[in-house]
Structure 1
């Protein structure tokens, strides 16, 4: 699939954002992300240091996430970020493009729209955690947050586990219609609840907000529970009570990111846990370590890593080439 030379020069592929929805399925995203977790745990793939900066314009955060998967020979980066004022442009807040490079030569191979892929890979990551860490017999899915990403999260969770009901909370209750409509599309009843009830009744909880102070408190969560904390990916962001984090058996996509920009940053800063308490989810996928292992509460701290973006981008490029939907451009 590498770019190739002509008399005029090197050609690369372009997969437009508008083509992604017809190419990439949640199932394909799940398989790609599960494989990346395993490759990372086996030390066959690694992420590059993340660059993420406030640019001082439009309140935007911009940066780069990249890596190399030696098992799949996938090399590249995602460039983009978060523009909180994009509603005025009729655009979603997260904007990104994924660039793939030929691992043998370093030449540019493809530029791929990253907005939908980011949503799909984020949802797939939490779904992988649910597959391996959800309590047996889990019936109730709790959703904290009703933004753009929440629908992807709910659909991915329902694809890997048979839930009987969805309950949800959002700081702006008027947005809960998104959760209700998504649940209805999955054939599941939905009920809006307060956080204390959500923590007490949900067997699996997905939090996907942009909060900078804890929403779900330690006292809220009762009984066997798995929490996929997917919103904290920057210094200062926070969705969970540090005491709740400290009570859980903790897993993440990449430990270095979790302790620096993920949900565990706050529990570590409060000296409630040590770095050694944070485990790689990929090690559970490969069977190197147990999952719940008798824990009442498990936590997946999903910070989002570049390898996840590259994995879904490589898959969608393969599908686009097969279906003749990958454009070619001369460099």
Structure 2
């Protein structure tokens, strides 16, 4: 079994690697050559933690496995660890034997940022200039770095429940040479692209906060009951997702579908846009929304790339398991 510990990931995986892996696996999913297994995600009744498993099989990339982990909201304050904790396990599709164990924390942040970045590439207006951020935690910094590579943004605006955290994303914007401005939620109307990366169970972004022509990526809703945006916003938008089944059950679309504002057929795979079987954005005034629920195949695709790089560079630890 190949082991790639968390401490080695940063030196192996680039944003470009993660982007390429996620874009390819979205395309494979849409073609039907890759599929996700049903998600298990539960509140464990201890430390307010959410824990679960995401897995799948990509026949094109020959990646089989799962990611185990979740969200421990008290980690940073009580233990000095980031709140999201996970590990990816890969198995040999030919034999079922365990192939690799890969640290999943940085991997998760990079693959989640890559997913929203892929959505920006394929759905945002080409002339997008103002980047909006809702959320300023650990993962928001990864989101913003990846997003700023997709368009020639001239300004970043941001809002967070805890304003004292906004310097986290201001620093990223400044490093990219882009000015930053803190705004009220109503100020999001200025944004051409918005990324929401929060862990809320009540909508933060209302439909009237988003202007015509905006692309919004909702990246925080991955559990039944979570919600980042008002359900009526999905009725105003053309909705895309990583996987439709997850979107309508544990993703942002769960609420709009539940109250009859949209149907399952109104939710489209981003992979279909990548493959050219869906036109994607069709006008400058269209609102596009990407519901990034986070699929196991993203983790497996990125973990497979990490394993290959680790073996190539002689960094991997190989044990007889």
What's the TM-score, normalizing by structure 1? 0.95
Partner of 1:291: 280
User: 1:177, CA displacement in angstroms?
Assistant: 0.6
User: 1:129, CA displacement in angstroms?
Assistant: 0.2
Whether 2:269 is the aligned partner of 1:280: answer yes
Q: Deviations over 1:134-176 (max 9, x none)?
A: 0120000000000110000001111222211100000110000
Alignment of 1:1-331 (within 5 A): 12-87=1-76, 88-198=78-188, 200-294=189-283, 296-331=286-321
What's the TM-score, normalizing by structure 2? 0.98
Partners of 2:121 and 2:216 lie apart in 1 by 12
User: 1:296, CA displacement in angstroms?
Assistant: 1.6
Partners of 1:235 and 1:18 lie apart in 2 by 32
User: 1:223, CA displacement in angstroms?
Assistant: 2.5
Larger Rg: 1
Q: Deviations over 1:284-320 (max 9, x none)?
A: 0000011112262000000000000000000010000
User: 1:255, CA displacement in angstroms?
Assistant: 0.2
Secondary structure of 1:22's aligned partner: coil
Once the two structures are overlaid, the 10-residue window that deviates more, 89-98 or 154-163, is 154-163
User: 1:52, CA displacement in angstroms?
Assistant: 0.9
User: 1:119, CA displacement in angstroms?
Assistant: 0.2
What is the count of residue pairs matched by the alignment? 319
The answer to whether the Cα contact below 8 Å between 2:65 and 2:88 also exists between their aligned partners in 1 is yes
The answer to whether the Cα contact below 8 Å between 2:126 and 2:151 also exists between their aligned partners in 1 is no
Secondary structure of 2:21's aligned partner: helix
Partners of 1:103 and 1:278 lie apart in 2 by 31
Secondary structure of 1:159's aligned partner: coil
Secondary structure of 1:244's aligned partner: helix
